[in-house]
Amino acid sequence: MGKNILTSWLVVTGKDFKILYKNRYLFLIYLAVVLSIILLALFIGLYLAPVMLSFFPPNEYLPALPNFMVYFVIFTSTLYLMSMGAASFTKERELGTSDRIKTMNILPSTMIFGKMFFYYLVALIQAIIFNGISIFFFYEVNGMQIWMNWNVSNFFEYVFLWPLVMVCGAGVLFALVTQIGRTTRKAVA
């Protein structure tokens, strides 16, 4: 092995950060879209919800609307990151760079984990921002909730679970896309 596994892993992660930096304008557009959804959530939460409360009889769901909006933003951005991750794997295969890395004596698992780690970090940063927003604007309590008999804190949910879901989803999407690609190639052949 040319370098140890951890170094190679970090090199792959670093490469993806560099690609992100090179495509920073696209990423900024993505962030702008996400932020505009958050602003919409703020608008609904801070201005519309109190107005709506005067029209509808009081219920326990309406005050929680902004929180649902934040969840919606997290969910959609996670899905988006998931598809970006899967597309990135597929692009590496298309370009042939993953094969080149493989011939440079790097284990495929090192490359996959390196890439997944990058998307995990991006999802993590995103989750921390959203968590901050929900606490700051919507006074969400960083308390505990029960998930399948487990006591899970909101922090744990944002920081570990959502990014993890994103990374696993990206892996599954990639596997699906690759399988479809193979089937198409066979059909063409």
Partner 1 sequence: MEAIIKVKNLKKSFKDNVILENLNFEISDGESFGFLGPAGCGKTTLLNILSGLIKPSSGEVWINGYSMNTNASKARRFISSVPQTSALYSDFNAHDNLRFFGSFSPLPAKKVKEISLEALDLYELTHEAHVPIKELPYSYTKRLSIAVAMVTDPRIILLDSPTEGLDDRSSRVITDGLNLLSNRGKTIVLTTSYTREINTVCRKLGIMNNGTLLALDYLENILSCFGEQNQIELEAEGLENIPIDIIKKQLFCSVPIESIDKFGSTLLIKLESTTEVLSIILEALGDSGIPVKNIRLSEGSLENVFYKLSGRELRD
Residues at the interface with partner 1 (CB under 8 A): 1-3, 8, 11, 15, 18-19, 22-23, 95-97, 99-106
Nearer to partner 1, 105 or 179 (CB): 105
Nearer to partner 1, 14 or 50 (CB): 14
B/e letters for 69-93, b = 16+ CB within 10 Å, e = fewer, are bbeebbeebbeebbebbbebbbebe
Least Å distance, CB 32 to partner 1, is: 21
Burial class (CB in 10 A: 0-12, 13-18, 19+), 165: middle
Nearer to partner 1, 94 or 153 (CB): 94
Half-sphere exposure of 56 (CA within 13 A, CB side): 12
Least Å distance, CB 104 to partner 1, is: 4
Least Å distance, CB 116 to partner 1, is: 18
Least Å distance, CB 10 to partner 1, is: 10
How far apart, in Å, are the Cα atoms of 1 and each of 6, 14, 40? Answer: 11, 19, 51
Nearer to partner 1, 86 or 101 (CB): 101
